[in-house]
Amino acid sequence: MLSRLALRLAAFEALAPFAQYGADEPVWPTLADGRVYDTAFAAFDDLSDKEGRPIVAVYTEKSAAETRSGAGGDLTPGTVELAFELSVVRRAGQGVLTLDTDPAIEAHLDLLEAQVRHALAEGESGAIFRNAGGLGVMSITSEPYRSAEEATRLASRSLTYSIRARADCYASVAAGATGFDRLPQPLRAVAEALPEGSHGRLIAAQLAGLAPSPMFGVPLAGVGLAIHAKSPPAAYAGEGDEPAVVADVAFPPPDPPPAGEG
């Protein structure tokens, strides 16, 4: 489901705008600055302890779609769970963000969550996310986690968006397409909107090179319908004088597909 990927790449760019990495005076949307991860497979508490500063990691979780009319029906727009793991950590003797007390750590975590929500919903950098094929946010949940092992104090939250998402649409992928034109919508639109050289654009370019050519059906040339009224066959003689009506439906064979598309 590439529409799921489109949402994740757009969310990553919204929280870590590529242009800010090379800026002389970067302006980041959140306290995490540039410490935003896309699908970090390392244990999140290990990442937090390594950084020693606020971080955000973006993941896609469950996705689902239902048929419109039972088995065999068309699929409705699906739902995608987009998860943001937020963390604020302080080690003993480390005066990051003046996190001197547990309430201060928790307060900075609340601020980090508020900044993430604002960036996605209203912030300038979040425009790409708001145009990434989502049909609306159905729910937002925030689950806390806290740890105080040895000299490290960690406060984190799992912020989960349940999003109504468009299905992958290959209808506009033309035969012989190259580059991002090989990708279905909405991923294609997100890929084209991502900055040149950015993390997400590179991933999309890799997938475009691997994407199989879609299976194009041969357009139906037409349907012929001929109706003939004639006397009933001899076997039905004596059953009435009404003529029998016989319909012949002819489907002319379609022209062969152009070379290279078969």
How many residues does the structure list for the chain? 262
**Which of 77-91, 105-119, 167-181, 206-220 is most confident?**
105-119
Tens-digit pLDDT profile for residues 129-185: 999 988 899 999 999 887 766 556 678 899 999 999 888 888 878 888 889 999 999
Q: Could you tell me if 160 and 140 are in contact, meaning their C-beta atoms sit under 8 angstroms apart?
A: yes
The structure's pTM equals 0.74
* Whole-angstrom distance, CA of residue 56 vs CA of residue 67: 35
- Listed in sequence order, the residues at least 6 apart from 134 whose beta carbon sits closer than 8 Å to its beta carbon are 7, 163, 164, 165, 166
pLDDT at 171: 81
Residue 120 has pLDDT above 60, yes or no: yes
Q: What is the mean pLDDT of the chain?
A: 79
CA 45 to chain centre: 26
